[in-house]
Structure 1
Amino acid sequence: MVQSRVRDVARRAVHAEITAVAESLFREQGYDATTVDHIAERAGISQRTFFRYAGTKEDLVLGEFDRQGERMVDVLRSRPAEESPWTSLRHAFEVVVASRGDQSDRDRAKLVYSIIESSPALRAAYLDRMDLIQRRLVDALLDRATGTESRVVTRALVGAAFAALNAVMETCDPDCNGSDTFATDLDHVLARLEPASTRN
């Protein structure tokens, strides 16, 4: 058990170092112009070690969104079945809200989004991953449904909630003063858009 924790800590440390090196290169020469070989050479590791700890170049930028998506699905599945889907989605979004609390996290988010916007291929991959997260949230809501909720309506509901989240992220970055401001803005937008049919 102790050895397993030590390995996990070591793996995260190596991954963090590779990520920092990659982000530095992305700033210097652009995402598309930076290869795995460039990153491995700057980090002082082999290409094999890169793939072992980092996965792919794309994962270095988008991996955190996958992890956030996993946590959102877990939160949504933990919510009471009788809770309105809209309210449950707001609780799931707390995963994103929590990531806005620290200035260093906000600065890194700004960097990550600038990298995504710099590469059409990376932006397409980002949108694909966001779509997958939404589909998983739809599945989680339908799994707990007790009525005859349709997939298309639930998909539209999740899409609307994500549109609100994205709108707040766009207007709040990078000048949002922490998670409290972000949460307040998100609550305001979600309250304005909440469908009457979802209210308890």
Structure 2
Amino acid sequence: ATTSPVNVRSKARKPLMTPKKKPPKITDKIYFDIEIVNHLDGKSSESGRIELGLFGELCPQTAENFRALSTGETSSEKEVSEVEKLQYKGSIFHRIVPNFIIQGGDLTYGDGSDGMSMYGYDLPKERNGLVFDQPFLLAMANSVTEPQSSHGSQFFITTVKTRWLDDSHVIFGKILRGHDFLLSLSDLGTQSGKPWRSAKIVNCGEILP
């Protein structure tokens, strides 16, 4: 099970004057082909592609988990048959809040109540010091059972700066292409988080050099 980021803004602290850090290295690139589907007739009304870059050097286990779930690969460590079926292809973005986040990756029930890593268990957080100081960052949603220390397969993409989420979620990538399409996805959201149209990942995989 997984907890979702909370859309609550706290008082901003004055930023410390520190030298600019070098941007994290992109080690892997992933694509999602997404279709927006009408609830009434089930027909696709719009489609688009987003490309995501992963920070594999800063958080190797988290990035590899996301990459493998995107390609549908299996692992020799897997012993649970259900785990072999886990992949982001065919999953939906179950929670969309305008001017906040787009969240998906519940490969168990599709409603945000669960999720599982490629290994069949929650992964420990790889804390890396990155902060939500810009939009279009890729981060993991926290596990319900151990929200302070672990996550599974659920992820979210921010559409604005969300500094109140600093230190509570692991940032492991960013959006490289498809920003405008993501903003159109954000328009499907509501304050409750339940989108008024379904956004489904119909295909996904790794972009090889």
Aligning the two structures, in what range does the TM-score lie when normalised by the shorter sequence?
A: under 0.3
Higher-Rg structure is: 1
TM-score, length basis structure 2: 0.24
Larger strand share, 1 or 2? 2
Higher helix share: 1
